[in-house]
Amino acid sequence: MKHLLSPQLLFFVHALVAVPAATHLAAQQANTQRETSAANEETGESINPGINSNFLDPELDVDQWVARFEVESREVYQARKEILEQMKLTSGMRIADVGAGTGFYSILFSEAVGEAGWVYAIDLSPKFVPYLSQQFDQRKLNNVTTVMCDQDSICLPPNSVDVAFICDVYHHFEFPGDTMRSIHRALGEGGRVIVIDFERIPGVTREWTINHVRADKATFINEIQDAGFDLIAERKIPGFKDNYFLEFGKRSQ
């Protein structure tokens, strides 16, 4: 006698098989992206050539980027108060704002760490850096330094900061391993890294992000852990739909 499965049971069996298969495929894709990243860096090649061409353009219009970055429709701008709360900054801390852009987070950090603390506003754009200096001077902020960084280093000395903040910037790293190792060196004992970036989920994430962001969250976590960090937690930020918030700790070596 043949045993027939109901449609509901067939669906359940299919789901049991499909979920591990999808998970395995995602893991394979993450490993492939990870290996590609490592191979490119070993040969000194950018993992994402041209991703920063807009910011390196000597004709860049800073005002256009202010209008794009500092607008309530942008999640990381709208949720800036909640992000600061999750970062748990205290007076006297030293923080690196990696890829500071137009500087609105650097300005918030300046107030959060107080006169006893320090903020390094780091960027590779030859147009953003002088703009940042101008903004800090206008506000008479005496605890902020602008830093022109390289494609593969944040250009800070060892043990100079307690927290590194990388907001919608990690996917712009052309040499993520080298850049994260430079952050590892710059962090003091017990240093933390905050990474906020875009979700990249095929079939869910909008097409622009899929084309712009080279890899998903799992791949980025693996790369950052390979550079000497441990994932502490993924923090939930109210209002986040397109972004995620990850906190890492510097691994002692």
CATH at residue 190: 3.40.50.150
Q: 65 in helix, strand or coil? A: helix
**Taking the model in full, what pTM does it have?**
0.84
From 66, 86, 52, 239, select the one nearest 163 (Cα to Cα): 86
CA atoms of 200 and 47, how far apart (whole Å): 17
**What is the CA angle 211-78-236, rounded to 5?**
75
- What 3-state class would DSSP assign to 21? helix
Residue 246 lies in a domain: yes
Alpha-carbon gap, residue 249 to 57, rounded angstroms: 34
Domain presence at residue 35: no
Identify whether 195 is part of a domain: yes
Phi, psi of 61 (to 5 degrees): -95, 105
Q: b/e map of 210-244 (b: 16 or more CB within 10 Å)?
A: beebbbbbbbbbbbbeebbbeeeeebebeebeebb
Is 34 contained in some domain? no
CA-closest candidate to residue 105, choices 122, 117, 124: 122
CA distance 202 to 29: 12
Give a yes or no: residue 22 inside a domain: no
Residue 99 lies in a domain: yes
Indicate whether 175 belongs to any domain. Answer: yes
- Asked if residue 145 is part of any domain, the answer here is yes
Q: What pLDDT tens digit does each residue of the chain (253 aa) get?
A: 333 444 444 344 344 444 444 444 444 444 545 555 555 556 689 999 999 999 999 999 999 999 999 999 999 999 999 999 999 999 999 999 999 999 999 999 999 999 999 999 999 999 999 999 999 999 999 999 999 999 999 999 999 999 999 999 999 999 999 999 999 999 999 999 999 999 999 999 999 999 999 999 999 999 999 999 999 999 999 999 999 999 999 998 6
Range of the domain at 167: 49-250
